[in-house]
Each structure stands twice: as C-alpha cells, then as structure tokens.
Amino acid sequence: MPNVAVVGAQWGDEGKGKVVDWLSSRADVVVRFQGGHNAGHTLVIDGVTYKLSLLPSGVVRGGKLSIIGNGVVVDPVALLKEIDGIAEKGIKITPKNLLLAENAALILPIHGMLDRAREASKGNSKIGTTGRGIGPAYEDKVGRRAIRVCDLQHPEHLKTKLSELLEHHNLLLKGYGAETVSASQLHGELMQMAPRLLSHAAPVWRVLDEANRAGKRILFEGAQGIMLDVDFGTYPFVTSSNTVAAQASTGSGIGPKAIGMVLGICKAYTTRVGSGPFPTEELGPIGEKIGERGREFGTVTGRKRRCGWFDSVMVRQAVKFGGIDGLTLTKLDVLDGFKELNICTGYRIGKDALDYLPSDQFAQAKIEPIYETIEGWQGTTAGARSWAQLPAQAIKYVRRIEELTGAPVTILSTSPEREDTILMKDPFEG
C-alpha cells in the first residue's frame, strides 16, 4: 500500500484540510512537511469547526500519530496556543499523538516584526505576506543562524545564538525605523515554553523510517499550493518554501521512494489571497458571487480571497512539475445554478498564444485568458455522495477538467462536511 502526499494544485486554500482529515481515516501517521502558521485548514466534523494552522489535520482523529516535520518553521507561541485551543474542543494533544522534529527551525517574534516592517516599506509593491515571520525564519534557516527546537535543551548556548541572531536582525529593524528586540527577554520567553515543546521533540525521521518499514500508511500534508512554490510559483509573489510533493521527502526526513501517490487538491474554480498575477480573476459580479457562495475568506488572516474561473493551464502545469497522480476537486457545489461556466484553456500575450505559465513576472502580468464556455447546471451538487446524485452537466464539467489537466479526478468534495465526498479511487490503494 503506497504512502500518499497531498499538495495544493493552485494558490492554496483548495480545501486540503478536509481531504487530509478524510484520508487520515485510512492512514496511521499524518505529517506536515513545509510552511508555517501562515497556512490554515478548516475542518467541520459533526457540526464542530476546527481551524488548524500548524497541527496536522490528522490530530482530530483518535489513534493517529501526527508529526510536524523539519521542513516546517514553527512559531512556538502559535503552536502551544493551537494545542490549548483544540483541547478546549475535546482533542487532547500529548507526546503520544504529536511529535515535533527536533531539527525544525523556530519562528521568533523578531521574524514577524521584520516581515511586517518590510511589507510596510514596499507600499504598493508589497508581496502580500501574512506578516507572521515565515520568510525571515526560512532566511535564517538557510543563513545558518536559525534557532532550532533542539537548541532549547542548551540554555547557555541558546543565549549565544540569540545574541548573534539579534545582532543581524536588530540592525535591519533599526533601518526600517522599528523597535528592536532584547536578547534576554526573548531567551526568558523561550525558556518558559521549552519544557512543553521539548516533550514533543524527537528525531522524527527515525520514527517515519520505522513506520514505513513496518508497513504503516503515512499521509504527507502540504500547505499552501504549488503555484506558491518558491521555485515554480508566480515568483516573487510566492511563499518561502517548496510546496511541491518532492518537499515531502526533504521536509520530513524520509527517502523519496517512500512517497507513493501524489494527490493534488484544487477547487472547481480558482482563488488567490494577496498580490500577484491571476489570469482568470473576475473583478465583477461573477467573482463576488463565487466569493460569497464559497465563503472565500482566509482561515488564518480573514482576508477576502480573489476569485475567478477554473484555470486548466495552471493546474496542468502543477500536475506536471508537482508529480500529481490524481486530483481532488473541491467546492463543486459553489458553481450550482450558473447558466454558463468558463474554463481557461490557454493564455494570450498580445498576438502570441501560450499553453503554459511563463516564469517571467512581467510576462505573467500581461497574460489574458483564453476561455472555453460550457453549459452550467441548475440542479444541486451540494452534499452528493455518489455520481448518481450529480446533474449530468456537472459530470461533464468534471470530465472536461480531467481532459484539460491530464489528471483523473479521484475524489470529489461536495461540501465542507467530512462525509460529503465521492471516492472514485482510494489513494492508498495505489
């Protein structure tokens, strides 16, 4: 039975949380392998809503081991707050059901301060980050000055590392006219949280190796989407980590051969949060209608999402360099009642037609979509749990997406509820 990696095939917010939670009933271990608390998953289970950012979606199911891998940058304050918040809803988190990679880098308050100061200085040229310090934390990681979970075991060594880190960052903050951070105060705050964090710390690569050798099913949970990948996304309007399925290996410490099926998640339309190109964006009534019906507001930030038609060019590209074997299509019900639907089948820049999204940001800004218009449906898909419950035109729409993206739709989600799902193929069955 193969392990499964779940990745977003658009710009994030595709509904990965519900899908990962749904798949976790078939898994033994669920792993987050990149991103930070800028990502958000909303789960609705038996009428109870859970909003997760750092915790893997599998934590809401009993008997599963959840792992935060080394590819994640971890805000310790946010993590402990999330653990306490979910405990209030009856989900108890202990070292038996949650492990934290001992070599994961930490997000410190100074990272968020620097993130926000940078964005403010850019004015209209801002990237659109969440301001939570994700980018600066990854910079420290590759700059070899990050504070890692395992550093919390050595208080005196931590003092030295903090002094060196703040010597770098406080100069930048001064340049932006922002307040600086005290090393002693930050050290004290980290030491207060250290016992709880270290109780979950482990060499998770060993745990995963043992689980894989024992034939246990492992589910790798990605954050954001492939078009936000720092290498393959709409750079520079991207996140600071790799979001493709290959990161499941390096972000958790398991060999690439252990990654079996790659499941890409995409909405039946397209959304984006923040700045950057969006070829199929609808700025008028259609975009407003999609946003209202889909309740398109960010789980973490509450920001209104930009909405538009399904972009098959972008998803097809994500399928190719994301190694996606099958798609999960979410929020099909949002399109119920539309007389006509548009699908982007190509791009145009001036007189030139393109069948891919170029890397150059200036070319991306000039793109105009080429649409194919198909008939909508008047019946409802909301809550459908079998193909027989879908209107004929809805089935045609799904089949057309399969043809244009080059990937089969293996799972269809028809509402936020866990069981409102149509399964064509169990990803764990290969």
**Long-range pairs, 385-392, Cβ under 8 A, ≥24:** 385/414, 385/419, 385/420, 385/421, 385/422, 386/422, 387/422, 390/422
Helices (H), 214-284: 247-250
Residue 256, amino acid:
P
Which residue is catalytic, options 13, 75, 115, 333? Answer: 13
HSE-up of residue 169 (Cα within 13 Å, Cβ side) = 29
**SS3 state at 323:** coil
Nearest by Cα to 410 from 419, 94, 418, 401: 401
For the question of residue 13 being annotated catalytic, the response is yes
- Residue 211: partners with Cβ closer than 8 Å, 6 or more residues away: 28, 29, 65, 218
| Residue type for position 409 | V
Question: Which one of 37, 41, 111, 200 is the catalytic residue?
Answer: 41
CA–CA separation, 66 and 92 (whole Å) = 12
DSSP per position, 156-215: HHHHHHHHHHHHHHHHHHHHTT-----HHHHHHHHHHHHHHHHHHEE-HHHHHHHHHHTT
Question: What's the gap between Cα 262 and its chain centre?
Answer: 14
Is 325 tagged catalytic?
no
Residues designated as active site? 13, 41
